[in-house]
């Protein structure tokens, strides 16, 4: 087998493997490889595709993110009207619904119901045509919605191609898992944006974003709950869902066929009981008449189908008492009041704390010490206080006042500009240091699992660690001096810290907690800079220009990176980390996706722009740059006064010679670039 044939086979194998891993991760929620292993396979595929663009498959996972951010989403008419469901909160009304169904059908007919979870996200219409993921819209006003196909393509649980070539029009709910929302919210908090109150807002907000590259990082998942061509596939709704699942399409897989109200009630109770265990939010159940023939007889009213109803679970609430209000200081110095509650069971967990956000929030709700309060968990990760029972007060309970000095280091607190939050401005505040080290060690950053918060507290309190670089100087000896630290644990901690040196540069950037630079931004920044060494090499003007060119980086982010890089303290920290060999091993892969993804361009001759600027444009459009024409070069961008040797070399390797004008058309996506051919 030639080298080229081997590459072709490997590409096919990788596409299949990655697809299978996507399915395991996003549909079965049961991955068999780590994120890093996945990334390695993905990179290998990307590299092979760049070398052999002619073998890039249309359903390659690398083809999920393409195109440029848009300035607006266009509106498209739905394939068929997206009506919503009548809903109820009571089982009595559910029985009434069943009676209405039975009356509406010929007397004596047997009715089966399909009970399934009502997922709480954003609803979408998805079209497969000719076996290809071909269209998608948000619900909009029910008649038409926004065209979000580019965003849907980034959802890795949705196959880009399926074997069944018949047209399929699907309804699905796009959701975010609770655990993924936590990461997104941390990111938002760092960027100074308000966190999403619940996974539903996060999912619908993400679906409508203008830049698919950012959507791709949100880990959205789609679950199909209705197939419009159902009747031509199978006689029942449940069988249709089962069928589309065999095509690799994601269904929630939690539907139950019930023969009577007793079975329905049992299934409903079971769903409610298991609710907290699902990784996504469900806000109720949907009960559907299972047979399409019966659905057709029942028809629909102006607003709702008569064959289905949503049974909603009420938001879970509990009553408890505020025993105390404490103030926590985070790694950014922000002071957050937290209610210490009498422990109470709620939605499957015991709750003993509720965030009170800030002083304004406490005042609005008028929460006082000792108050009886109602807390609620309705999709939010942290329970919220929703109301105060002022009637239950005896006398005039004490009001809570925010401290004027940091409760940890006693520095006077400050208010920054328009912000509501009070902050401790002392960078040496032990709470700030502990928070920063904890953040550094988190799973999504440097992933030092041996470094729990309790240990970090000890390390900082004993003066062994003052910043994240100090971690790399810890020895088994110094650690063993700590209370309750056995030799073996000390060795584990030291080796876990040493192992973190291998983390990629983007994780290091995340871990540093640069203001406004969260996980997603850190990844983009790392891709721009490639390595810690190169990053340190940026002077202020370079930092500003490079950062300004990154998609989605606004003035605050640019300012923050430039300030970080020029601050002598943070530079010294970076230099120490570099000296310890942190993030040296793996330069970051340039993973920008764009109109030139998978294409390698060589630039020659005199052009209207500076050579470096042209190189940058190529990279920004997802292409790679080479100084010499070689095997795998897809385009030779030839300016004026180009020597014949270059163009001959290009012809020899099958690269296409293009003018600056043609290059502009390719780069901007006006003409599709692929496999070295210009397609109009």
Using CB under 6 A, list all residues that contact ligand IVH.
83-85, 116, 118-119, 123, 139, 171, 173, 225-226, 286, 305, 308, 310
Specify whether 679 is catalytic.
no
Q: Of 152 and 286, which has the nearer Cβ to ligand IVH?
A: 286
Beta carbon of residue 123, minimum distance to ligand IVH (angstroms, whole number):
3
Beta carbon of residue 281, minimum distance to ligand IVH (angstroms, whole number):
10
Q: What are the C-alpha distances in Å from 137 to residues 32, 122, 141, 157, 296?
A: 32, 11, 11, 17, 25
Residue 118 host element (H or E): strand 113-119
Beta carbon of residue 286, minimum distance to ligand IVH (angstroms, whole number):
4
Beta carbon of residue 122, minimum distance to ligand IVH (angstroms, whole number):
8
Question: Residue 253 — left, alpha, or beta (φ > 0 → left; ψ -120 to 50 → alpha)?
Answer: left
Which residue is catalytic, options 68, 118, 312, 679?
Answer: 118
DSSP readout, 349-363?
EEEEEEE--SHHHHH
Q: At what angle do helices 540-548 and 555-566 cross, to 10 degrees?
A: 150
Q: Of 85 and 479, which has the nearer Cβ to ligand IVH?
A: 85
Buried-state track 201-216, b at ≥16 Cβ within 10 A, e below 16: bbbbebbebebbbbbb
As given in the structure block, the two tokens for residue 459 are 């390390």
Minimal CA–CA distance to 270: which of 291, 255, 281, 260? Answer: 255
Q: What are the C-alpha distances in Å from 47 to residues 17, 205, 499, 625, 634?
A: 16, 33, 27, 13, 14
As given in the structure block, the two tokens for residue 162 are 């399926």
Beta carbon of residue 227, minimum distance to ligand IVH (angstroms, whole number):
10
174 close to 155: Cβ distance less than 8 angstroms:
yes
Burial grade of 430 (CB within 10 A; 0-12, 13-18, 19 or more): middle
Q: Of 238 and 465, which has the nearer Cβ to ligand IVH?
A: 238
Q: Of 85 and 183, which has the nearer Cβ to ligand IVH?
A: 85
In angstroms, the CA 128 to CA 120 distance is 23
Beta carbon of residue 228, minimum distance to ligand IVH (angstroms, whole number):
9
In angstroms, the CA 556 to CA 294 distance is 58
Q: Of 13 and 296, which has the nearer Cβ to ligand IVH?
A: 296
Q: Of 242 and 319, which has the nearer Cβ to ligand IVH?
A: 242
Residue nearest to ligand IVH (CB): 123
Q: Of 310 and 671, which has the nearer Cβ to ligand IVH?
A: 310
Beta carbon of residue 288, minimum distance to ligand IVH (angstroms, whole number):
7
**Distance from the first to the final alpha carbon of the chain:** 35
Catalytic residues: 118
């Amino acid at each position: 087998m030639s080298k080229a044939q081997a590459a072709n086979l490997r590409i096919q194998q990788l596409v299949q493997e990655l697809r299978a891993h996507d399915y395991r991760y996003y549909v079965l929620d049961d991955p068999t490889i780590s994120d890093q292993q996945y990334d390695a396979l993905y990179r290998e595929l990307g590299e092979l595709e760049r070398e052999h663009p002619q073998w890039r498959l249309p359903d390659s996972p690398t083809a999920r993110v393409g195109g440029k951010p848009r300035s607006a989403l266009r509106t498209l008419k739905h394939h068929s009207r997206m009506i919503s469901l009548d809903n109820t909160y009571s089982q009595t009304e559910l029985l009434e619904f069943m009676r209405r169904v039975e009356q509406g059908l010929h007397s004596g007919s047997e009715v089966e119901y399909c009970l399934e979870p009502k997922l709480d996200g954003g609803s979408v219409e998805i079209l497969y045509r000719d076996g290809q993921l071909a269209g998608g819209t948000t619900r909009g006003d029910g008649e038409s919605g926004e065209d979000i196909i580019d965003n849907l393509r980034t959802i890795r649980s949705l196959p880009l191609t399926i074997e069944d070539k018949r047209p399929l029009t699907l309804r699905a709910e796009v959701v975010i898992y609770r655990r993924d929302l936590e990461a997104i919210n941390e990111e938002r908090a760092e960027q100074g944006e308000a966190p999403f109150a619940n996974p539903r807002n996060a999912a619908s907000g993400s679906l409508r974003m203008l830049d698919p590259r950012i959507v791709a990082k949100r880990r959205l998942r789609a679950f199909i709950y209705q197939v419009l061509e159902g009747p031509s596939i199978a006689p029942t709704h449940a069988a249709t869902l089962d069928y589309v699942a065999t095509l690799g399409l994601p269904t929630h897989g939690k539907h139950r066929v019930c023969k009577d109200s007793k079975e329905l009630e049992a299934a409903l109770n079971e769903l409610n009981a298991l609710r907290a265990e699902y990784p996504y939010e469900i806000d109720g159940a949907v009960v559907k008449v299972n047979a399409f023939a019966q659905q057709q007889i029942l028809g629909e009213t102006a607003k709702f189908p008569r064959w289905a109803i949503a049974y909603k679970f009420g938001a879970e609430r509990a009553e408890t008492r505020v025993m105390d209000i404490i103030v926590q200081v985070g790694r950014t110095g922000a002071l957050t009041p937290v209610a210490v509650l009498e422990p109470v069971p709620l939605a499957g967990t015991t709750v003993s704390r509720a965030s009170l956000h800030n002083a304004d929030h406490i005042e609005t709700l008028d929460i006082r010490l000792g108050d009886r309060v109602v807390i609620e968990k309705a999709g939010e990760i942290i329970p919220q206080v929703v109301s105060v029972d002022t009637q239950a007060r005896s006398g005039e309970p004490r009001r809570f006042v925010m401290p004027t000095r940091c409760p940890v280091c006693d520095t006077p607190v400050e208010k920054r500009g328009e912000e509501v939050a009070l902050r401790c401005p002392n960078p040496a505040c032990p709470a700030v240091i502990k928070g920063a080290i904890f953040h550094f060690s988190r799973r999504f950053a440097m992933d030092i699992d041996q470094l729990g918060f309790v240990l970090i507290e000890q390390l900082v309190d004993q003066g062994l660690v003052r910043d994240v670089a100090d971690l790399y100087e810890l020895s088994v000896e110094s650690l063993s001096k700590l209370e309750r630290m056995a030799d073996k644990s000390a060795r584990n901690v030291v080796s876990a810290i040493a192992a973190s040196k291998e983390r990629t540069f983007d994780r290091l950037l995340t871990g540093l907690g640069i203001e406004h630079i969260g996980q997603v931004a850190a990844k983009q920044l790392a891709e721009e800079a490639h390595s810690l060494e190169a990053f340190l090499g940026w002077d202020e003007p370079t930092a500003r220009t490079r950062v300004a060119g990154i998609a989605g980086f606004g003035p605050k982010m640019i300012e923050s990176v430039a300030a970080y890089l020029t601050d002598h303290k943070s530079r010294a920290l970076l230099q120490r980390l570099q000296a310890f060999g942190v993030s040296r091993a793996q330069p970051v892969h340039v993973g920008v996706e764009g109109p030139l993804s998978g294409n390698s361009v060589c630039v020659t001759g005199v052009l209207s722009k500076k050579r470096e600027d042209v190189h940058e444009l190529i990279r920004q459009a997802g292409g790679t740059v080479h100084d010499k024409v070689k095997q795998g070069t897809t385009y030779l961008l030839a300016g004026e006064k180009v020597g014949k040797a270059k163009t001959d070399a290009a012809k020899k390797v099958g690269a296409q010679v293009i003018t600056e004008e043609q290059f502009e058309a390719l780069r901007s996506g006006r003409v599709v670039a692929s496999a070295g051919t210009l397609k109009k």
